[in-house]
A and B are shown apart, each in its own frame.
Chain A
Amino acid sequence: MTRVRVTAPRQSAPLAPGRLPSHREIPEDSDSGRLFVRSLIRSQLRLALVVACGFLVILSVFALILVYGPGVAEIRIVGIPLNWLALGVGVYPVIGLSAWLYNRAAARNEARYRDLVEDK
């Protein structure tokens, strides 16, 4: 196999050619295309914000209960204090679940966009 010297004058071509998005011509060429893209972005942003806020609310409620819940500091499960279990183990499934739900919903948003564009 021969070795090929490749250089990258990236200043002039900042976006490397990747796999092109589907129907790239639409957002640039027509008002309706632009509208579809805007609504896709809005729905993805709304989804991300909802999941992020939901997670942060759960986390804060968690923290507040552990600190201020009456008698919570004394609770032990198999000899391990509840706050250790909750923070050391319990938070992680919540993170994973949020991520999984988000992935499904984000893929659904994209599928809906694709349907819209292909219907046209």
Chain B
Amino acid sequence: MNPVVSLVAFLAVSLTTAVIGFHGLRISRTTGDFYVASRTVPPWWNASAIGGEYLSAASFLGVAGLILLSGTDALWFPVGYTAGYLMLLLFVAAPLRRSGAYTIPDFTQARLDSALVRRVTSLVVVAVGWLYIVPQLHGAALTIRITTGLPSWVGSTAVVVVVCLTVVAGGMRSITFVQAFQYWLKLTALAVPVVFVLLVLAGNGTAPQAPLTLNPTSQAPAGAYQHISLLVALLFGTLGLPHVLVRFYTNPDGQSARRTTLIVLGLLSVFYLFPTLSGALGRMFAPELAQSGQADALVLLLPGRLIGGTAGDVLSALVVAGAFAAFLSTTSGLVVSLSGVISQDVFGGSVRGFRLAAVLAAVVPLGFAFMTDTLALAGSVGLVFAFTASTICPVLLLGIWWRGLTDAGAIAGMLTGALLCGGAMVAGTLMGGGNAPAWLAQPAAWSVPAAFAVTVAVSIMTNGRVPSSVDRVMSRLHVPERPVATER
């Protein structure tokens, strides 16, 4: 692959991101602009932005790589990523928008009337965000190494620098424009090369090297437990992701939050057709990538392998651009939501504090990324979903739908989930990725019910602590807004 072409693609994406970001600077002036785009973003823009933010390295590179390795077992990943949004629509979207809170800690504090709950939630949110940024940086490192031959650290450092610059410059307002642009870039960058490859293969009448149904490595098929645990993690993890939640505050009201989510589901469904197609093509025409341990780079290498020449270079450049759009958008979304949380709790909520917090939010995971190895991207992101599902999800779901939740119950539940799921992640890593038994490698199936059970049990035991504001807050969450027409 031509390294110069890849570098140009990367620079072009970074520059476009920065330009849109700085353009946003001119229109974002208040704290409200910085945090949540003043809540005036129309549903289509917002949905594209949510899609852009959500489709991370795991979706862009990881899903196709995993499909190459394990076939139909891996098809459950995109299904889970998309169905997670269905759960978010059903249980969280409209009430959360109506809550009027800016961040998840804001929400738990308002709902439970406790500053301690806020502290614990903030800690968990920061942990989730940092855990989730690390695989993005690994993806960037992998992309730069494979496509340009430069050392890995260049990729992850470049992503952190660009993200810090754009977030510090414009906050969420400009990020919304950037994200919306990046969804469409990602879709184009995956779809166009795959369609080209299909056309060329069909035109040449190339015969597949291997059947679609055969795993290229001797990887054992996943059992029922793994499937169930993965689905639990993805279905319940999505609705607790901090960067996804903060997006809903940019809708003008609860109804439009639901409309936005419906559009997001459509955008995700269309997007995931293409990694699936790439993975399937990889199994049939480039199975050797799986044997050489380069499965995650499948999407990047496919056009060069199967088309080659100038056309192959141009298509590869497009894919590299899309990949960087993925790393940049997810990382900046996470950095925005983390710095919202950090700046309010540590720096008193000023714009200057937000900027300081943004740098802090991006630099710490960079350190983690240097210290750890690249795992399979889709797998490591799956673990982050498991952690979110075991910590933030129970508090959020019970807080929205159950009057009986207390501050003690929420804290006990979050700590239980964090200890169980975090412990399993650490133990699994220490035992070495492949050797851990299934119940440790995929903890969600038991850690999520345990966190729910502890939250409910402790809340019932401490039912004297149900805040007196519960009726007021619950009606705020669920009562529809006045229609716009009668308000004016």
The chain A residues found within 8 Å of chain B, CB to CB, are 1, 3-11, 14-24, 27-28, 34, 37, 40-41, 44-45, 48, 51-52, 55, 59, 63, 66, 80-81, 83-84, 87-89, 91-93, 95-96, 98-100, 102-103, 106-107, 110, 113-114
Distance of A83 Cα from B75 Cα, bound (Å): 10
B479 & A51 in contact (Cβ 8 Å cutoff): no
Q: Are A19 and B258 CB-contacts (below 8 A) given A6-B351, A87-B76, A98-B86?
A: no
- Nearest residue (CB) in A for B111 is A14
A19 & B102 in contact (Cβ 8 Å cutoff): no
Q: Is B49 an interface residue (CB 8 A)?
A: no
A63 & B273 in contact (Cβ 8 Å cutoff): no
A87 & B349 in contact (Cβ 8 Å cutoff): no
Write out the residue numbers on chain A whose beta carbons fall within 8 Å of the beta carbon of B72: 66, 83-84, 87
Scan residues 170-203 of chain B and give those whose CB is less than 8 A from a CB of chain A: none
With beta carbons under 8 angstroms apart, the residue of A19, A41, A52 that contacts B481 is A19
Could you list 17 further interchain pairs (A-B, Cβ under 8 angstroms) beyond the known A15-B476, A88-B75?
Answer: A5-B351, A7-B348, A7-B349, A7-B351, A10-B349, A19-B252, A20-B482, A22-B483, A34-B471, A51-B90, A84-B75, A84-B212, A95-B83, A99-B89, A99-B265, A103-B89, A110-B480
Most buried by B among A3, A10, A34, A45: A10
B100 & A102 in contact (Cβ 8 Å cutoff): no
Distance of A34 Cα from B474 Cα, bound (Å): 10
Distance of A32 Cα from B468 Cα, bound (Å): 19
With beta carbons under 8 angstroms apart, the residue of B227, B350, B471, B478 that contacts A7 is B350
Q: Is B39 an interface residue (CB 8 A)?
A: yes
Distance of A95 Cα from B268 Cα, bound (Å): 11
A37 & B255 in contact (Cβ 8 Å cutoff): no
- Nearest residue (CB) in A for B261 is A99
Write out the residue numbers on chain A whose beta carbons fall within 8 Å of the beta carbon of B478: 37, 40-41, 44
Distance of A102 Cα from B257 Cα, bound (Å): 13
Distance of A24 Cα from B272 Cα, bound (Å): 42
Q: Which 5 A-B pairs have the closest CB atoms?
A: A27-B475, A92-B269, A8-B349, A87-B75, A48-B90
Distance of A63 Cα from B231 Cα, bound (Å): 12
Distance of A22 Cα from B486 Cα, bound (Å): 10
With beta carbons under 8 angstroms apart, the residue of B82, B212, B255 that contacts A81 is B212
Q: Is B53 an interface residue (CB 8 A)?
A: no
Write out the residue numbers on chain B whose beta carbons fall within 8 Å of the beta carbon of A14: 101, 106, 109-110
Write out the residue numbers on chain B whose beta carbons fall within 8 Å of the beta carbon of A9: 348-349
Sampled A-B contacts (30; CB under 8 Å): A1-B29, A7-B350, A7-B351, A8-B349, A11-B344, A16-B32, A19-B481, A20-B481, A22-B480, A22-B482, A23-B479, A24-B476, A37-B471, A37-B474, A37-B479, A40-B479, A51-B90, A84-B72, A84-B280, A87-B72, A88-B276, A89-B276, A91-B82, A95-B265, A99-B262, A100-B262, A102-B90, A103-B259, A107-B255, A107-B258
Most buried by B among A6, A18, A37: A18
With beta carbons under 8 angstroms apart, the residue of B79, B98, B109, B258 that contacts A106 is B258
Minimum C-beta distance from A6 to chain B (A): 4
Minimum C-beta distance from A2 to chain B (A): 9
The chain B residues found within 8 Å of chain A, CB to CB, are 29-32, 35, 39, 72, 75-76, 79, 82-83, 86-87, 89-91, 94, 98-102, 106, 109-110, 115, 212-213, 227, 252-253, 255, 258-259, 261-262, 265-266, 269, 272-273, 276, 280, 344, 348-351, 401, 471-472, 474-476, 478-483, 487
Distance of A51 Cα from B87 Cα, bound (Å): 9
A8 & B344 in contact (Cβ 8 Å cutoff): yes
Write out the residue numbers on chain A whose beta carbons fall within 8 Å of the beta carbon of B261: 99
B269 & A27 in contact (Cβ 8 Å cutoff): no
Write out the residue numbers on chain B whose beta carbons fall within 8 Å of the beta carbon of A106: 94, 258
- Nearest residue (CB) in A for B349 is A8
Minimum C-beta distance from A58 to chain B (A): 11
Minimum C-beta distance from B442 to chain A (A): 16
Write out the residue numbers on chain A whose beta carbons fall within 8 Å of the beta carbon of B83: 55, 59, 91, 95
With beta carbons under 8 angstroms apart, the residue of A10, A63, A114 that contacts B102 is A10
Minimum C-beta distance from A20 to chain B (A): 7
Write out the residue numbers on chain B whose beta carbons fall within 8 Å of the beta carbon of A93: 269
Minimum C-beta distance from B226 to chain A (A): 13
Most buried by B among A59, A99, A102: A99
- Nearest residue (CB) in A for B480 is A110
B31 & A8 in contact (Cβ 8 Å cutoff): yes
A114 & B39 in contact (Cβ 8 Å cutoff): no
Distance of A14 Cα from B101 Cα, bound (Å): 7
Distance of A27 Cα from B280 Cα, bound (Å): 55
Distance of A52 Cα from B29 Cα, bound (Å): 41
Write out the residue numbers on chain A whose beta carbons fall within 8 Å of the beta carbon of B255: 107, 110
Write out the residue numbers on chain A whose beta carbons fall within 8 Å of the beta carbon of B39: 18
Q: Are A91 and B79 CB-contacts (below 8 A) given A7-B349, A16-B101, A19-B487?
A: yes
Write out the residue numbers on chain B whose beta carbons fall within 8 Å of the beta carbon of A91: 79, 82-83
Write out the residue numbers on chain A whose beta carbons fall within 8 Å of the beta carbon of B273: 88-89
